[in-house]
Structure 1
């Protein structure tokens, strides 16, 4: 039995961040120099993002959990930020998971395994445990959590689910990626922190992966996964835990490294001698930022339409770390214009610099009656 992604569900917090008002909020923080204000304006205005979502509330639109007067951003401790993660991450995780289950046609009591991924907070028993309680999954469900693998973690999570299904036919795996990136924002003159404030948002994505018959009209057949390390980049994309939240380093070298090496990665995962422009019908590329998508497109020689799914998710949600690629795959799964057997290549980028890939086929009808 072929392993498939049967359905994808997504969830975001209620607070919707408009990029212009969020930009003005950060530019107006105490101690921001004229140079820093210009850097903030440039980072926000060139982001290709219209809206993002945050569990801490809006910026420039009244009070939020990190302000006392609606205007000045506090610097909460890491413990305070992680407490909010513990409160809010399970809410988004369960919402995305419920949608995925509803779309799949499978019931909660049919789930056999849970795989979760996150890099923006930690607690135990964690979201994987709480999903069992909140969704009414069998208490015998086997759980796996993938932590701190950054934006690329969704593909290792899906890979683990696929391996389970291959080894144990009949398995139904719930995969959930939840990231609350806004918990770690701060006012800063550091260009890397400014970029982080300009591009990251909050969200959760969930998928039902099974070696069982589909019960809905469309599914994604799971093909080969691969992992590649770029020749450099270990110090250009990384995360550490600081006293005032997680500190992310995302230098301007990241898009350049990706642009230089992405063609080699793509050629290695496709059939020998094939042209990516004709071998792949739909591209799911993690939008680490506008410049990352630009470099992938240029590096592989793709037309504008190839980046359409990724650019639309970036525009509407920003970079939600590991959850983002599931939002993109959800759009591909729901695109009725894609024919049966459409070939999909997914690319994700994580700390290191790591490139994770997966090949998928979109199927438009169940193979057996529901």
Structure 2
């Protein structure tokens, strides 16, 4: 039995902020010399991002309760505990909003959900997001719950793989997959190039999908196959560790170079014949990553338009981002019955996750 994504819901924090506003704020930090300021300007301007959403209104210059991250134009460095408290306060609502939207389009009521898979790498607490979804959505107290943490930007694909395995073993299962990331909580006011690059791309958002056995009465995305690949290099180039002042992201310039060098062989291995792919859902870790993938695979300039559009409007929302791209592909009337989608995402390791997906349109 093939598992199918029946619907995808998304959610964003209320605060929408221009990339130029964040650039100017970050460049104005005390202790940044002219070289650092030029690096900030170059990184933010080259990111191909127009706007991002954040759970911290102070980043947009608005007064707000909760975590204090700004004193005038000076960004503060709250301790990790305070940042995690803000995650615990704000993340459950985004998980719930995206999940309600996914359920609303799936044809299933909340009491039909049999399994919950939650994903996040930007906070932790127990009972966690999986538990809160049971309470917030009124799910059955007997729902099986799983949480995937610290897999990073690639995590939506392992979550969908787990959902597909569950449905494959139990065709009556209805699996709710929900990803939420609050990357803005972990901004580091450092002039180190890695931290500048991280600050220039990461944003907040949530996505959810309902996965179940498909039938001809409902549009959807069949989850046909999955693969994972660990590259020979990159273990130290993309990393996510817990520091005293938030989670510390390492994202070096080697990441797009490694992906550019290795993605052709990996894609041929895990996706198969590339000329049989009708659409691409590539996680936009940054503009340079998309450029490297496009060039290495010899793709048409429009092939990664869905990924570039999500990056432009929302930034890199870590694990949630891929669900935004798949949502847009599912809603695209140009995607017809039988179209083949190749999904690729990149996480710490450096790990490449891939999925083969087929578009299904309701009969008639």
TM-score higher than 0.5 here? yes
Q: Report the counterpart of residue 247 of structure 1 in structure 2.
A: 248
CA distance in 1, matches of 2:151, 2:15: 26
Alignment length (residue pairs): 362
Large movers: runs of 4+ above 6 Å: none
SS in 2 for 1:48: coil
Q: Report the counterpart of residue 285 of structure 1 in structure 2.
A: 282
CA distance in 2, matches of 1:202, 1:194: 17
CA distance in 2, matches of 1:214, 1:174: 20
Q: Which runs of 5+ in 1 are unaligned?
A: none
Q: Does 1:337 align with 2:334?
A: yes
Residues 88 and 187 from structure 1, CA distance in 2 versus in 1: closer, same or farther, beyond 3 angstroms? same
- Let me know the Cα RMSD of the aligned residues: 1.3
CA distance in 2, matches of 1:66, 1:198: 20
SS in 1 for 2:163: helix
On the 8 A contact 2:58/2:69 being kept in 1, the answer is no
Between 77-86 and 51-60, report the one with greater CA deviation: 51-60
Q: Which runs of 5+ in 2 are unaligned?
A: none
Give a deviation string over 1:174-223, Cα, whole Å, max 9, x none: 0001100000002111000001111000000000000253654x200111
CA distance in 2, matches of 1:346, 1:120: 23
CA distance in 1, matches of 2:88, 2:228: 31
2:111 counterpart (94, 109, 112): 109
SS in 2 for 1:5: strand
Q: Report the counterpart of residue 29 of structure 1 in structure 2.
A: 29
Q: Report the counterpart of residue 310 of structure 1 in structure 2.
A: 307
2:185 counterpart (175, 178, 183): 183
Q: Report the counterpart of residue 351 of structure 2 in structure 1.
A: 354
What's the CA shift for 1:305?
A: 1.1
Q: Report the counterpart of residue 159 of structure 2 in structure 1.
A: 157
Q: Report the counterpart of residue 265 of structure 1 in structure 2.
A: 266
CA distance in 1, matches of 2:296, 2:32: 37
TM-score normalised by L of structure 1: 0.95
Residues 70 and 62 from structure 1, CA distance in 2 versus in 1: closer, same or farther, beyond 3 angstroms? farther
What's the CA shift for 1:66?
A: 3.3
Q: Report the counterpart of residue 219 of structure 1 in structure 2.
A: 220
What's the CA shift for 1:68?
A: 4.8
What's the CA shift for 1:351?
A: 0.0
Residues 233 and 63 from structure 1, CA distance in 2 versus in 1: closer, same or farther, beyond 3 angstroms? same
CA distance in 1, matches of 2:116, 2:202: 26
